[in-house]
């Protein structure tokens, strides 16, 4: 809808109107058909004629000489595109008026004096011999695509020169008007009053035939070319530069020739009309909707192919309409369909990309789960397998059987807990599971993790030093947090040399509890710190050490802490150890775990 609204806004702007004009020129220039028989001809005042007659000052005398020869050929009308508004030599004016009287249906031109906004008309002697007066305005903008068939000023109106010539050549009566059209005899002209009765000029494919005044003077038989045609008299010389206007074909044309082309348009009765105001809006809506629906119901190469085909069809629409004499300005339509296509294609691309990324992420998660199962669970599975094999292979006394049974039970519980922890973290990360919101003491979780890690520390003759644990209450999942603290302690023991120490200290700051676990192991460099929480990432030193590991534990810890609205900070230096600090929100209060009691400070040393 935004694309449609943007297209409407642009389609009614001035730049769009200019683009529509250029589109009209291209459509017209590429759709002309040859073989149009002209029904008019030019009586041209060219450079050679002006030189021979001695310049414009002798024009009226020369016209009085040649017009009788022209009119003897019996043209159907004579349209004069000259301003004859001043009295010159009385005898010459009288001779020219007499020449006009010998011609059938003479139409004289009138112009608007723009400074005074009044009509400049021919003198009375010429008006008395004319059949009609008409305006000679072309009104280019800046290309002469259309001409207003009427002009009015000071409550006086004149029809266009070509229109009056057409009416007189058809020997039709008065022009009949309605708000939407004009009727000249049997010809209906779609010229609405709202547009000053303007119509598009359907220029002839070839130039209008012309005969110069010089030719008429030296070859009177040349006047036969005007027989049964409308004669348009006017300047065609190069000095009449201001009277040369641009046409849709990209060439300059004199005003009198443009008026002749308008006459040919009226005579042929083939009129190009603007599409109704609602048509471009409707077409744009359909084009925009089509572009959007393509990417809703199709995907991949099929969607791109359909979009390309849709663009081609939409681009052909103005051409198809123009071939039926309807001009649809393409700016609104094409801007709408291109904008809709680009937006829809971009959205489609990112949606498909997101789906692909999700698919890849799901695939990766599956692989990670398999990796986790094959590595993290190997130890308890080995213990269970070994104990059960001993029980079946050897005849053990009751105490040994009980011991192995307890080990199998313990390891199976550990395995089940490990699986559940992993699945819970995965479901939390995917938003498929709500985090438990239990209230429990920080000490209960931390000391339970320390007790489990103490067994590992004893094997390496390491110390575990624990500072004061505040009576803070944590809200969340107790089992997940215990897993997180144990994993950090386990890593600290695993990657530290024998007979070193592990320190665990707690502090309160700005409504957060900070639990720092320090080791004096191999440490990490800055590159390792950037990737330490990535799944399956292990530092080069860790891999070279030969210590087993999957690289998944810290990523799970990080996810658990994040789910509890906390974060982990890491400081490390190669050869000097690391400090992992878990920062969690807390509430001050008494411990809820009666088994821990007041055990806020505890130091465990294993030797």
Cα(226)–Cα(230) distance, rounded to whole angstroms? 7
More confident residue, 586 or 219: 219
In this prediction, residues 488-492 reach a mean pLDDT of: 91
Cα(339)–Cα(287) distance, rounded to whole angstroms? 10
pLDDT of residue 397: 83
Instruction: Note the Cα 107 to chain centre separation in Å.
Output: 54
pTM, rounded to two decimals: 0.62
- Alpha-carbon dihedral angle through residues 87, 88, 92, 93, given to the nearest 10 degrees: -10
Task: Evaluate whether 163 touches 266 at the Cβ level (below 8 Å).
Answer: yes
Instruction: Note the Cα 509 to chain centre separation in Å.
Output: 50
477-489 in b/e burial notation, b at 16+ Cβ within 10 A?
A: bbbbbbbbbbbbb
pLDDT in tens, 12-59: 788 888 898 899 999 998 887 766 788 999 999 999 999 999 988 999
Alpha helices (runs of H) in 323-441, residue ranges in sequence order: 330-376, 378-393, 398-429
Q: 433: Cβ–Cβ under 8 A, 6 or more apart, which residues? A: 424, 427
CATH topology of domain 438-605: Heat Shock Protein 90 (3.30.565)
The yes-or-no verdict on residue 548 having pLDDT over 70 is no
pLDDT of residue 410: 79
Collapse the DSSP code of 177 into the 3-class scheme (helix H, G, I; strand E, B; otherwise coil) and give the result: strand
More confident residue, 490 or 114: 490
Cα-based angle 539, 541, 542 (whole degrees, multiple of 5): 65
Task: Evaluate whether 529 touches 504 at the Cβ level (below 8 Å).
Answer: no
pLDDT of residue 555: 82
The yes-or-no verdict on residue 176 having pLDDT over 70 is yes
Cα(189)–Cα(383) distance, rounded to whole angstroms? 101
In this prediction, residues 455-459 reach a mean pLDDT of: 84
Alpha helices (runs of H) in 535-576, residue ranges in sequence order: 540-544, 553-563
More confident residue, 63 or 375: 63
CATH number corresponding to 377-429? 1.10.287
The yes-or-no verdict on residue 607 having pLDDT over 50 is no
Q: Which residues lie across from 135 on neighbouring strands?
A: 110, 160
pLDDT of residue 123: 95
Nearest Cα residue to 519 out of 446, 439, 460, 435: 460
- Token pair 């070193």 is found at 500
Q: 236: Cβ–Cβ under 8 A, 6 or more apart, which residues? A: 42, 44, 45, 46, 210, 254, 256, 257
The yes-or-no verdict on residue 429 having pLDDT over 70 is no
In this prediction, residues 545-563 reach a mean pLDDT of: 78
Q: 330: Cβ–Cβ under 8 A, 6 or more apart, which residues? A: 19, 20, 23, 315, 318
Report the range of poorest mean pLDDT among 303-312, 377-386, 512-521.
377-386
The yes-or-no verdict on residue 604 having pLDDT over 50 is no
pLDDT in tens, 251-298: 889 999 999 999 999 999 989 999 988 898 999 899 989 988 888 888
Report the range of poorest mean pLDDT among 37-41, 286-290, 429-433, 565-569.
429-433
pLDDT of residue 594: 36
- Alpha-carbon dihedral angle through residues 442, 447, 452, 457, given to the nearest 10 degrees: 120
The yes-or-no verdict on residue 104 having pLDDT over 50 is yes
In this prediction, residues 367-377 reach a mean pLDDT of: 63
Collapse the DSSP code of 16 into the 3-class scheme (helix H, G, I; strand E, B; otherwise coil) and give the result: helix
| Residue spans per domain, the chain | 3-10+277-361, 34-274, 377-429, 438-605
The yes-or-no verdict on residue 602 having pLDDT over 60 is no
The yes-or-no verdict on residue 533 having pLDDT over 50 is yes
Task: Evaluate whether 85 touches 125 at the Cβ level (below 8 Å).
Answer: no
Cα-based angle 578, 580, 586 (whole degrees, multiple of 5): 160
- Token pair 């590595």 is found at 375
Cα(434)–Cα(598) distance, rounded to whole angstroms? 32
Q: 84: Cβ–Cβ under 8 A, 6 or more apart, which residues? A: 60, 96, 108, 122, 123, 126
- Calculate the alpha carbon distances from 200 to 28, 316, 529 in Å: 10, 21, 75
pLDDT in tens, 181-193: 999 999 999 999 9
Interstrand relation of 106-113 and 77-80 (parallel, antiparallel or unpaired): parallel
More confident residue, 369 or 159: 159
595 — pLDDT class (breaks 50, 70, 90): very low
What distance separates the 2 farthest-apart alpha carbons in the chain?
153
pLDDT of residue 556: 82
Instruction: Note the Cα 465 to chain centre separation in Å.
Output: 63
Report the range of poorest mean pLDDT among 89-93, 372-376, 464-468.
372-376
Residue 248, Cβ density class (10 Å: 0-12 exposed, 13-18 middle, ≥19 buried): buried
- Calculate the alpha carbon distances from 87 to 225, 234, 466 in Å: 32, 19, 121
The yes-or-no verdict on residue 488 having pLDDT over 90 is yes
pLDDT of residue 386: 77
377-429 shares its CATH topology with 438-605: no
Task: Evaluate whether 223 touches 211 at the Cβ level (below 8 Å).
Answer: yes
Cα(55)–Cα(178) distance, rounded to whole angstroms? 45
- The pair of three-digit structure tokens given for residue 35, joined into one six-digit string: 């073989």
- Token pair 């308890």 is found at 380
pLDDT of residue 44: 94
Residues above pLDDT 70, as percent of the chain: 87
Total residues belonging to the chain: 607
pLDDT of residue 550: 60
pLDDT of residue 160: 95
């Amino acid at each position: 809808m935004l694309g449609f609204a943007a297209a409407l806004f642009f389609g009614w702007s001035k730049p769009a109107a200019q683009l529509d004009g250029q589109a009209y020129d291209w459509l017209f220039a590429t759709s002309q058909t040859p073989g149009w028989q002209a029904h008019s001809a030019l009586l041209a005042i060219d450079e050679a004629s002006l030189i021979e007659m001695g310049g414009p000052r002798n024009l009226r005398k020369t016209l009085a000489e040649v017009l009788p020869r022209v009119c003897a050929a019996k043209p159907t009308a004579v349209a004069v595109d000259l301003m004859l508004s001043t009295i010159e030599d009385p005898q010459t004016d009288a001779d020219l008026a007499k020449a006009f009287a010998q011609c059938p249906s003479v139409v004289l031109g009138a112009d608007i004096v723009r400074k005074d906004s009044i009509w400049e008309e021919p003198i009375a002697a010429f008006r008395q011999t004319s059949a009609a007066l008409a305006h000679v305005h072309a009104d280019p903008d800046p290309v002469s695509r259309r001409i207003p068939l009427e002009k009015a000023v000071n409550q006086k109106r004149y029809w266009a020169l070509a229109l009056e010539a057409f009416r007189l050549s058809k020997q039709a009566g008065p022009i009949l008007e309605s708000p939407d059209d004009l009727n000249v005899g049997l010809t209906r002209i779609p010229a609405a009053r709202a547009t000053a009765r303007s119509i598009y000029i359907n220029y002839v494919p070839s130039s209008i035939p012309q005969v110069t005044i010089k030719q008429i003077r030296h070859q009177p038989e040349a006047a036969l070319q005007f027989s049964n045609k409308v004669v348009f008299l006017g300047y065609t010389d190069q000095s009449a530069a201001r009277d040369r206007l641009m046409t849709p074909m990209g060439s300059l044309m004199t005003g009198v020739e443009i008026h002749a082309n308008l006459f040919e348009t009226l005579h042929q009765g083939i009129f190009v009309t603007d599409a109704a105001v609602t048509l471009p809006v409707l077409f744009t809506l359909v084009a925009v909707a089509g572009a959007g629906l393509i990417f809703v119901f199709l995907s991949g190469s099929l969607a791109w192919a359909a979009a390309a085909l849709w663009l081609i069809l939409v681009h052909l629409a103005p051409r198809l309409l123009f071939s039926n004499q309807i001009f649809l300005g393409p700016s609104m339509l094409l801007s709408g369909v291109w904008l809709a296509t680009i937006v829809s294609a971009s959205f489609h691309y990112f949606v498909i990309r997101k789906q692909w990324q999700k698919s890849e992420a799901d695939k990766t998660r599956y692989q990670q789960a398999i990796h986790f199962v094959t590595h993290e669970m190997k130890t308890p599975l080995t213990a269970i397998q070994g104990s059960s094999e001993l029980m079946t292979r050897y005849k053990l006394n009751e105490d040994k059987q009980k011991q192995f049974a307890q080990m199998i039970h313990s390891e199976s519980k550990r395995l089940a807990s490990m699986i559940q922890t992993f699945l819970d973290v995965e479901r939390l990360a995917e938003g498929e599971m709500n985090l438990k919101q239990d209230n429990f003491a920080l000490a209960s979780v931390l000391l339970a993790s320390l007790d489990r890690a103490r067994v590992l520390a004893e094997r390496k003759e390491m110390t575990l030093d624990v500072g004061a644990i505040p009576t803070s209450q944590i809200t969340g999942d107790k089992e997940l947090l215990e897993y997180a603290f144990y994993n950090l302690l386990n890593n600290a023991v695993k990657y530290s040399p024998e007979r070193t120490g592990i320190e665990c200290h707690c502090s309160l700051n700005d409504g957060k509890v900070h639990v720092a676990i320090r080791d004096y192991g191999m440490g990490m460099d800055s590159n390792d710190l950037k990737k330490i929480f990535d799944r399956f990432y292990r530092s080069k030193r860790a891999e070279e050490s030969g210590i087993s590991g999957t690289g998944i534990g810290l990523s799970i810890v990080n996810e658990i802490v994040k789910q509890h609205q906390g974060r982990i900070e890491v400081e490390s230096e190669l050869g000097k150890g690391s400090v992992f600090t878990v920062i969690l929100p807390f509430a001050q209060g008494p411990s809820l775990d009666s088994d821990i009691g007041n055990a806020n400070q505890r130091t465990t040393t294993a030797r």
